[in-house]
Amino acid sequence: MYKKLLSPVKTGSIQLNNRVVMAPLTRSRAGAGDVPRELNVQYYKQRATAGLIVTEASQVSRQGQGYAWTPGIYTDAQEAGWAKVVDAVHAEGGHIALQLWHVGRISHPLLQENGAQPVAPSAIVPENSRSFVILPDGTPSNVAPEMPRALENSEIPGIVAQYRQAAQRAKRAGFDLVEVHAANGYLLQQFMATNSNQRTDNYGGSLENRARLTLEVVDAAIAEIGADRVGIRLSPHFNAHGIADAEPEAMALYLLKALSERGIAYVHIAEPDWVGGPVLSDEFRQQMRAAFNGTLICCGNYSAEEGNALIEQGLADAVAFGRPFIANPDLVARFAQGAELNTPDRDTFYGGNEKGYTDYPFLK
């Protein structure tokens, strides 16, 4: 059953046991100082039979945080916490990538150092967005992001340096790969999208200029850990967090060709239909496949059967699953046996402790 989906595949220099990827899933359960804790170690260890785990997005700096209780990768304590996660996954024979994250304008002064404004390519408030903050009285709350500050051209090398240092820390922590988060309306996609980037310098205007920061970040990660251990997540046609890009497919294909030339391990496509975006056309899928010669991972509410078919058609090399992995730590075994899946409890997706996190039942 699902022979292609359950077969091994090489991604960069890493041999994966199967093509079932655990998608990055924000769960808002980091400990004090945004440090991964023992509960997180247990959660990832339970899911180590995935061909590849992509961790929840992890901010590369305090400036890059948009939600309370998400883990970081910019302090020694955070690095040490992640190292325990990596060791636990490796002990079970699994592989794991750290997703590197800067939210840009999807933030709030309550999350920023000294109450600073969030940063963005341009001073535009994102529509229909929320940040998750702790109010001054200690109450958790979803709040609208406030007006961001446009980054000065002179500040952009510092943003790239945040990613570079995060990649260094990921390497020291023992991660097999890093995934640059350039999707879902966060900072890198804010630079790429036509409506959120109104700059007139060399990071705005033309498609090539809007792609510049993303490629500089990828190059910084490559310099630290090697192209064969770098992946990236893209979300063409994403239409939440105030993103309305006039050139999503042209941008994706430009990046895929540039990333193929760099020889990175994989590109992870987050399909937009889960946020009300369009279903990707077969023509565009074929164009993406032709543009990139590394491992192509697709993520989009697929069943095992649909994912297996996508691989059989040559349109993907692996398929990422999100919510099924929340409720089914042994998802790979359930696919292999054709077993029924547990249903995820939406009320426990974000925040809390064991309930809805590490207490889902395994197959008997």
- % of the chain with per-residue pLDDT over 70: 100
Q: How confident is the model at residue 277 (pLDDT cuts 50, 70, 90)?
A: confident
Half-sphere exposure of 49 (CA within 13 A, CB side): 14
Between CA 278 and CA 299 the distance in angstroms is: 14
b/e per residue, 274-300, with b = 16+ CB within 10 A?
A: ebebeebeeebbeebbebbebbbbbbb
Averaged pLDDT, 107-128: 96
Q: pLDDT at residue 157 above 80?
A: yes
Rounded average pLDDT over 251-255 = 98
CA dist 152 and 201 (Å) reads 10
Q: Which fold has domain 9-348?
A: TIM Barrel (3.20.20)
Report the C-alpha gap between 353 and 43 in whole angstroms: 11
| Pairing of the two strands 14-16 and 9-11 | antiparallel
Tokens 């785990």 correspond to what residue? Answer: 53
40-52 burial, b at 16+ Cβ within 10 Å, e below that, comes to: bbebbbbbbbbbb
Instruction: Give the catalytic positions in this structure.
Output: 186
Phi/psi at 179 (5° precision): -120, 120
Q: Show me where the domains of the chain are located.
A: 9-348
Is pTM beyond 0.95? Reply is yes
pLDDT given for residue 128 in this prediction: 87
Q: How far apart are CA 270 and CA 251, in angstroms?
A: 15
pLDDT one-digit tens code per residue, 69-94: 999 999 999 999 999 999 999 999 99
| Averaged pLDDT for residues 270-290 | 89
Backbone angles phi, psi at 247, to 5 degrees: -130, 50
Average pLDDT over residues 152-181: 98
- State the DSSP code for 72: B
* Per-residue model confidence as pLDDT tens digits over 326-360: 999 999 999 999 999 999 999 999 999 999 999 99
